[in-house]
Amino acid sequence: MSNIWTITKRELAGYFNSPVAYVFLVIFLLMTGAFTFLLTQFIENKQATLRMFFYWHPWLYLFLVPAVGMRLWSEERRLGTMELLLTMPISLWHCIVGKFLASWIFLTLALALTFPIWITVAYLGDPDHNMIFTSYIGSFFLAGAYLSITSMTSAFTRNQVISFILSVVICLFLVLCGYPPVTDNVEVVAPRAFVEFVAAFSVIPNVEQFNDGQIDSRSIIYFLSVIGFPLFATNVIIRGLRA
């Protein structure tokens, strides 16, 4: 455990030693605010709910999360520090989990900094605080799922841009395969059972559960597996690089 934490600490320090972290936090907050207030007209709706705020997260994270995670392993490969790291007396798993946790903590910080909107909505009306809390949990898991996929794509390549694009594409699939406007159209040409099978992989219905105020064990298992599998794949890819 202490090994994982050592790696996590270094990665986190890496974010904050460069201006990238601060630029990202500002952009993250601007974007979540802009989407909520401008695109879905939070004020004009006159409803004491953050549903519109969380509605955008699967889409916003599509770009913001890969931007945070794209350097995880590709940077190690580009700098050659992977050789240093993997000849230290720690297991590859510790490195993978440590790095993943650092990015996840960073994203959680960004998410936590959106707290003024919670205060705002509580000041203006009487929202369902339980629902807001579970929505935050859902958003937290969503970030973890995208991030884990980015960890995998960053192990593929030493180029951060390629890592970013690959990750966006895979995450986009996870969004679209359960997004009603898409599934409704696919249902015309494909059997319903197939569409439902594919849709079961989507993040959307699972995030919706949290946004509806429910913590469903199935959704938690879904997110844990979407986090676990790419991390496992990261391990396989890095082992493959060295063989």
For another protein, the binding residues (CB under 8 A) are 3, 6-7, 10, 13-14, 17-18, 79-81, 83-84, 86-91, 242-243
Q: Closest CB to another protein among 206 and 235?
A: 235
Q: Closest CB to another protein among 15 and 141?
A: 15
DSSP state string for 40-75: S-HHHHT-S--HHHHHTHHHHHHHHHHHHHTTTTHH
- Tell me the Ramachandran region of residue 159: left when phi exceeds 0, alpha when psi lies from -120 to 50, beta otherwise: beta
Least separation in angstroms between CB 118 and another protein: 33
Q: Closest CB to another protein among 12 and 199?
A: 12
Least separation in angstroms between CB 154 and another protein: 16
Q: Closest CB to another protein among 79 and 113?
A: 79
**Which letter, b or e, does each residue of 167-197 get, where b requires 16 or more Cβ atoms within 10 Å of its Cβ?**
bbebbeebbbbbbeebbeeeeeeeeeeebee
Least separation in angstroms between CB 103 and another protein: 14
